[in-house]
Amino acid sequence: MKKSYYLFNPGRLSRKDNTLQFTPVDEQGKEGPCRYIPVETVSDLYVFGNLDANSAMYNFLGKNGISAHFFDYYEHYTGSFFAKDYLLAGKMQVEQTRHYTLRNKRMVLAQKFVEGAAFNMLKNLRYYNNREKDLAQIISQIEGYATQISATSEVAELMGIEGNIRQTYYAAFDTIVSGFTMVNRSKRPPLNEVNVLISFGNMMCYSVCMDMIYHTQLNPTISFLHEPGTRRYSLALDLAEIFKPVLVDRTIFRVLNKKEIQPNDFMTDINGCVLKESGKKVFVKAFEERLKETIKHRTLSKSVSYKHLVKLECYKLSKHILNIEEYKPFKIWW
Amino acid sequence: MYVVVVYDIGELRVARMLKLCRKYLNWIQNSVFEGEITEVKLKEMLSKAREIMDLDYDSIIIFKSREHKWLDKQIVGVARSQIDNFL
């Protein structure tokens, strides 16, 4: 199985002897001992530090089908380098667009995304409710909202419900996480520690979804729940809805409750809060472990990793679009 | 599959072997590589290695382990290279 590589240290990545070479550079500009990365084992690169690279390296990445995702100082996602599309399918493109333009077809998919997301969020809450955290009220409130999903006829209306669900869900974070308070969801910039982790995690989840979509024939720009905009892979946002509770929120609860991330892993900036490199590393490591974790798949009757689940979701979506099998959103079944 | 690959190759050809192995596995010591690899990728690597090798003189030894966790690795002295995926 190919691995993701995470680049935190500033340095230079270059093509050398048909593989990748990474030379770390410290603050004084002094080069450290270089390390070779076996190119055959790389699935993608997540670049958090400053990276020096030239086009020969990118050409090489492109040839090997490796994508690189970039993040800025505030760990916002800034963009990706993708190898040339290698799975082109006109039929899929046409059908996907048709599912977007026909309102009833679009609503079916959009509702399923919200339904899956709500189900997975409830699953998280119930888990903690059984562990002496009183969340009964929040659970019943979300269940109430979830029943309204199927009655919606407009995407805007559905997004409203989705917003309500998420707001109620985030209100439970203060009960679940000990030692930190979240108060309200704040973005751009996130104002406190829990919000920083949510933003950071969501962005990681978004990149994973995007990468998986890239390896299927789906067009990442045509989405159903989110409005397809410009310069955005909005289909990844749709998919991320379902997986955020499973991948991101569980990881956040873990790192905070097990005290793997401490208050001194954060830095309070002039306006907002950022995760220090030490914190980033811990979180990414936990997230990576989460992605690698395997579960026994019921219908496939074999072990699959969480990361592969995202890809399976893309396959299910393709099948729905091509009218082979109706799409059922991923719901945690254990 | 997790493997440790050790080779003993004539001086003339050893650099090419080093470069080949670097593409598939992590370098840990002179002539020693280790890492996660699939059955097919290992086959691919070995077939390329055969082209480099003088089969009457050189040799490669592969230690296979089903998973990383079944491998008990102990280092005495200096660890030459990190092999994790956090750089």
Indicate whether A216 belongs to any domain. yes
- Considering the domain architecture, whether residues A229 and A95 belong to the same structural domain is answered as yes
In 3D space, the residue among A47, A50, A45, A60 whose CA is nearest the CA of residue A14 turns out to be A60
Indicate whether A332 belongs to any domain. no
**Contacts A43 to B, Cβ<8 Å:** none
Q: Indicate which CATH number applies to the domain containing A225.
A: 1.20.120.920
- Considering the domain architecture, whether residues A108 and A8 belong to the same structural domain is answered as no
**Domain span holding position A9:** 3-71
- What part of B 56-75 touches A (C-beta under 8 Å)? none
**Rounded-to-integer distance, Cα A74 and Cα A78, Å:** 10
A115 is in an annotated binding site: no
Q: Over 90: is that where the pLDDT of B6 sits? A: yes
Indicate whether A227 belongs to any domain. yes
Indicate whether A269 belongs to any domain. yes
- Considering the domain architecture, whether residues A48 and A119 belong to the same structural domain is answered as no
How near does any CA of chain A get to the CA of B62, in Å? 17
- Considering the domain architecture, whether residues A206 and A295 belong to the same structural domain is answered as yes
Shortest CA distance from A47: residue in chain B = B87
Indicate whether A65 belongs to any domain. yes
Indicate whether A310 belongs to any domain. yes
- Supply the ipTM of this predicted assembly: 0.79
Contact B87 A22 (CB under 8 A): yes
How near does any CA of chain A get to the CA of B56, in Å? 26
- Considering the domain architecture, whether residues A97 and A156 belong to the same structural domain is answered as yes
B55 touches chain A (CB under 8 A): no
- Considering the domain architecture, whether residues A22 and A100 belong to the same structural domain is answered as no
Boundary (domain end) residue, out of A71, A99, A118: A71
**Contacts B85 to A, Cβ<8 Å:** 3-6, 288
| Average pLDDT, integer, range B6-21 | 89
A241 is in an annotated binding site: yes
- Considering the domain architecture, whether residues A212 and A280 belong to the same structural domain is answered as yes
How near does any CA of chain A get to the CA of B53, in Å? 18
**Contacts B81 to A, Cβ<8 Å:** 35
Give the mutation candidate from A31, A36, A60 for the B interface (greatest B CB count, under 10 A): A36
Give the mutation candidate from A15, A37, A66 for the B interface (greatest B CB count, under 10 A): A37
**Rounded-to-integer distance, Cα A60 and Cα A20, Å:** 9
By Cβ distance, the residue of A5, A24, A41 closest to B36 is: A41
**Rounded-to-integer distance, Cα A173 and Cα A169, Å:** 7
Indicate whether A79 belongs to any domain. no
Shortest CA distance from B45: residue in chain A = A40
pLDDT digits (tens, 9 = 90+) for A129-167: 777 777 778 788 888 887 887 777 787 888 888 888 888
A226 is in an annotated binding site: yes
- Considering the domain architecture, whether residues A145 and A8 belong to the same structural domain is answered as no
Contact A40 B24 (CB under 8 A): yes
Q: Indicate which CATH number applies to the domain containing A43.
A: 3.100.10.20
Average pLDDT value over all residues in chain B: 86
How near does any CA of chain A get to the CA of B55, in Å? 24
The pLDDT score that the predictor gives to residue B61 is: 92
- Considering the domain architecture, whether residues A176 and A125 belong to the same structural domain is answered as yes
Average pLDDT value over all residues in chain A: 81
Q: Are strands B2-8 and A303-305 parallel, antiparallel or unpaired?
A: unpaired
Residues of chain A short of pLDDT 50, as ranges, are none
- Considering the domain architecture, whether residues A268 and A203 belong to the same structural domain is answered as yes
Contact A41 B81 (CB under 8 A): no
The pLDDT score that the predictor gives to residue B5 is: 92
Instruction: List domains and CATH numbers for chain B.
Output: 2-70 (3.30.70.240)
**Contacts A66 to B, Cβ<8 Å:** none
B35 touches chain A (CB under 8 A): yes
Contact B19 A18 (CB under 8 A): yes
Shortest CA distance from B2: residue in chain A = A1
How near does any CA of chain B get to the CA of A189, in Å? 26
- Considering the domain architecture, whether residues A110 and A223 belong to the same structural domain is answered as yes
B25 touches chain A (CB under 8 A): yes
Indicate whether A333 belongs to any domain. no
Contact B85 A4 (CB under 8 A): yes
Boundary (domain end) residue, out of A43, A71, A99: A71
Q: Are strands A77-81 and A35-37 parallel, antiparallel or unpaired?
A: unpaired
Number of domains, chain A? 2
Burial of A179 (0-12, 13-18, 19+ CB in 10 A): exposed
- Considering the domain architecture, whether residues A50 and A144 belong to the same structural domain is answered as no
How many H-runs (helices) and E-runs (strands) does chain B carry?
A: 2, 4
Boundary (domain end) residue, out of A71, A100, A125: A71
